[in-house]
Amino acid sequence: MEFLIKAAQLILSLSILVVLHELSHFLPARWFKTRVEKFYLFFDPWFSLFKKKIGDTEYGIGWLPLGGYVKISGMVDESMDKAQMAKPPEPWEFRSKPAWQRLIIMVGGVTVNLLLGFLIYIGVLYTWGRDYLPLDGATYGLHPSELLKEEGLRDGDRIVAVEGEKLATIEDVAKAILIHDARILTVERDGRQEQVVLGTDIADRILDRNEKTLFTPCVPFFVDTLLPEGTAKDSDLRKGDRLDRGERNIHALLRAVPRSGGRTQG
């Protein structure tokens, strides 16, 4: 059933795109008094699912959902009527129109496709926006890369400013370090503000080590599920337990467990 729904959605979206594209050829042709012989949604080799002639134009729906077309009188690359091409041009034919009118008729489809693409992306960004975590939203601090730890940063540090300037996102901090050679970070640590000064060649060393992620948000550790086949099932851990020690986040816990030697952690 889900497959049928997805297929129907695909055909519906394709139908809308095709109709808008072909309308962008059809309407300019009609405005310039050019005869349109056919306007079809989907292709109709051998037969069509529906057709109806209104005035000079036959409107129809084909059975092959791979696009659509408009057949404009006197358009050489569209018309298969060779006898018509051998006759003198008629006033209603495409080939008898001025060059600027022919150009508008031909580029209508491309223009609408371009505008529609912009509108779709505007709608997507307006509806879903861009997912990011504001710098001040990292309430449990940040987990710095190993190289940044060597420079003096610690798990749980909250970055307040970079070179005295407040930045909006974690990505902005990384860009400031890599691109703008920012070195002075003001961090909040254990309730106090401190400055961490990075080395002059920090950007080069980050690139040499290929550290792709400089910061990740620290998150608190809560026990949700104990796997039946895991070793934790024999421990005192219970669902809902929270890590209550200095590390305060999953990154520090993963480093602390191998070093614990079986001792109680928190």
Q: Which of 22, 37, 93, 247 is catalytic?
A: 22
Q: Do 7 and 121 fall within a single domain?
A: yes
**34 near 72, Cβ under 8 Å?**
yes
What is the domain range of residue 172?
Answer: 132-217
Same structural domain, 117 and 158: no
pLDDT in tens, 142-191: 989 999 999 999 988 999 999 999 999 999 999 999 999 899 999 999 88
Other residues' Cβ atoms within 10 Å of the Cβ of residue 62: 21
Same domain, 210 and 226: no
Residue range 85-112, pLDDT digits in tens: 667 778 888 888 998 999 999 999 999 9
Euclidean distance between CA atoms 176 and 184, whole angstroms:
10
Residues 152, 118: one domain? no
Whether 185 and 199 have beta carbons less than 8 Å apart is answered as no
The answer to whether residue 22 is catalytic is yes
pLDDT at residue number 89: 75
CATH code at position 144: 2.30.42.10
Are 97 and 198 contained in the same domain? no
Residue 57 and residue 40 share a domain? yes
212 in the same domain as 249: no
- Does residue 122 sit in the same domain as residue 29? yes
**How many CA atoms lie within 13 Å of 206's alpha carbon, on the beta-carbon side?**
24
50 and 107 assigned to the same domain: yes
User: Could you tell me where the DSSP H helices lie in the chain?
Assistant: 2-31, 82-86, 99-128, 146-150, 170-178, 202-209, 250-259
Q: Is the pLDDT of residue 46 over 60?
A: yes
At residue 231, the pLDDT reads: 62
Indicate whether 236 pLDDT > 50: yes
Residues 198 and 123 in one domain: no
Residues 9 and 97 in one domain: yes
Q: How many domains does the chain have?
A: 3
